[in-house]
Copies of this chain bind each other. A is one copy, B any other.
Amino acid sequence: MSIADLSSRVALGIDIGGTNTKFGVVNHRGEVLEKGGMRTDAYEKVEYFIDALYEQVQPLMEKFGTVANFDGIGVGMPNGNYYKGTAEHAPNLPWKGVIPFGELMKAKFGLNCTVTNDANAAALGEMLFGAARGMKNFIMITLGTGVGSGIVANGNLIYGHDGFAGELGHTIVKPGGRKHWSTGSEGSLEAYASATGIAITAKKMRAEFPASMLNKYPEDAINSKTVFECASKGDPIAIEVFRYTGQKLGEALANFVMFSSPEAILLFGGVIKAGDFILKPAKLHMERNLFPIFRDKVKLVFSELSEADAAILGASALVWEK
């Protein structure tokens, strides 16, 4: 294939979240040439969703000629399984049980469709186009409504024997700790370091400290964004919310480092807007909990990809990585 041919090759990247779906046409240089979005949760059956997705995507795809110009479709979605092309028992998706998503997509679009979980896709996006270029060992942690992860070792994503490896949000950081609202587990990383967890911590702490600025907001306005506003204005309780979150995150990261000894840990997602309020305590408690040979070696950095594009880029990267 000539360079001219290669440069005209594109892939369709799709990021499916519990609420919203984003999609885009991406080229080999990691440029998102066209993009769009739609609701995920408006479709009772996955087949209806795929029909609606096709309606939305088809006009974008036609701009690039025939489907033969597409190398395939990559999908990042909750509990996506790389080996089987399925999404299985994802608590955040409207469709229950085991969904043969890749097959359904192939039947509709006439293109091969590779599926993985959203955090794995994000890790792949960082490796091909972002802060992890050239790295063979790193861990991607996504801090959003939930906490996800993608782990790269020896230059490859770790999928495990069943395709579900890298569920670090569900690892236990505090045995017998905070009960998870959905899984019921006690003391998982997600229960503390997700946006949902931060809101819980903030509500508890503001109840203990009536003088906190956080008490000026109604209950349903307490989220990582409003906590950040208060922290930026110097509210010590809001700052403590992030410090505590960062501590729990850092303790978890230390354990991850002693597992796969990555060159870097990349943080991504809405929660990282809290910046140093979370990053500094996370770094402190990671280092403090490390076995000495690992200390002062691991970069703890934020993702370089724009949040709007990262998921689409990561999903499209699946097509070429395969």
| A interface residues with partner B (beta carbon < 8 Å) | 79, 88-89, 135-137, 151, 153-154, 156, 158-168, 170-175, 183, 185, 251, 254-256, 258-263, 289, 291-294, 297
Instruction: Note all chain B residues with C-beta closer than 8 A to A256.
Output: 259
Q: Do B151 and A154 touch (CB < 8 A)?
A: no
Q: Which residue of B lies closest to A137 (CB)?
A: B161
Separation of A255 and B255 alpha carbons in the complex (Å): 9
Instruction: Note all chain B residues with C-beta closer than 8 A to A165.
Output: 137, 153, 259-261
Q: Do B172 and A254 touch (CB < 8 A)?
A: yes
Q: Do A160 and B251 touch (CB < 8 A)?
A: no
In the complex, the count of this chain's copies comes to: 2
In-complex Cβ contact of A154 among B154, B168, B173, B260 (8 A):
B154
Q: Please, could you name 25 A-B residue pairs with CB atoms under 8 Å apart, sorted by A?
A: A89-B292, A89-B293, A136-B161, A151-B259, A153-B158, A153-B165, A154-B158, A154-B159, A158-B261, A159-B261, A161-B262, A162-B261, A163-B261, A164-B261, A167-B258, A168-B259, A171-B258, A171-B259, A172-B251, A172-B254, A174-B175, A183-B292, A185-B291, A255-B255, A259-B260
Q: Is the interface of A mostly helix, strand, loop or mixed?
A: loop
In-complex Cβ contact of A175 among B136, B158, B168, B251 (8 A):
B251
Separation of A109 and B2 alpha carbons in the complex (Å): 52
Q: Which residue of B lies closest to A139 (CB)?
A: B259
Report which residue of A163, A164, A185, A291 has the largest number of chain B beta carbons within 10 angstroms of its beta carbon: A291
Given that A88-B293, A254-B172 are known contacts, is A260 also in contact with B164, CB under 8 Å in the complex?
no
Instruction: Note all chain B residues with C-beta closer than 8 A to A251.
Output: 172, 175
Chain B: minimal CB distance from A318 (Å): 16
Pairs A-B, 3 closest by C-beta atoms? A160-B261, A165-B261, A161-B263
Q: Which residue of B lies closest to A180 (CB)?
A: B291
Instruction: Note all chain B residues with C-beta closer than 8 A to A137.
Output: 160-161, 165
Separation of A161 and B134 alpha carbons in the complex (Å): 12
Q: Which residue of B lies closest to A186 (CB)?
A: B289
Instruction: Note all chain B residues with C-beta closer than 8 A to A293.
Output: 79, 88-89, 164, 167
Given that A160-B262, A261-B161 are known contacts, is A291 also in contact with B153, CB under 8 Å in the complex?
no
Separation of A282 and B260 alpha carbons in the complex (Å): 23
Given that A137-B160, A251-B175 are known contacts, is A167 also in contact with B294, CB under 8 Å in the complex?
yes
Report which residue of A160, A256, A263, A292 has the largest number of chain B beta carbons within 10 angstroms of its beta carbon: A160
Chain B: minimal CB distance from A156 (Å): 5
Instruction: Note all chain B residues with C-beta closer than 8 A to A154.
Output: 153-154, 156, 158-159
Given that A137-B160, A251-B175, A294-B167 are known contacts, is A289 also in contact with B185, CB under 8 Å in the complex?
yes
Q: Do B170 and A258 touch (CB < 8 A)?
A: yes
Report which residue of A79, A163, A172 has the largest number of chain B beta carbons within 10 angstroms of its beta carbon: A172
Instruction: Note all chain B residues with C-beta closer than 8 A to A89.
Output: 292-293
Instruction: Note all chain B residues with C-beta closer than 8 A to A297.
Output: 162
Separation of A163 and B297 alpha carbons in the complex (Å): 12
Instruction: Note all chain B residues with C-beta closer than 8 A to A258.
Output: 166-168, 170-171
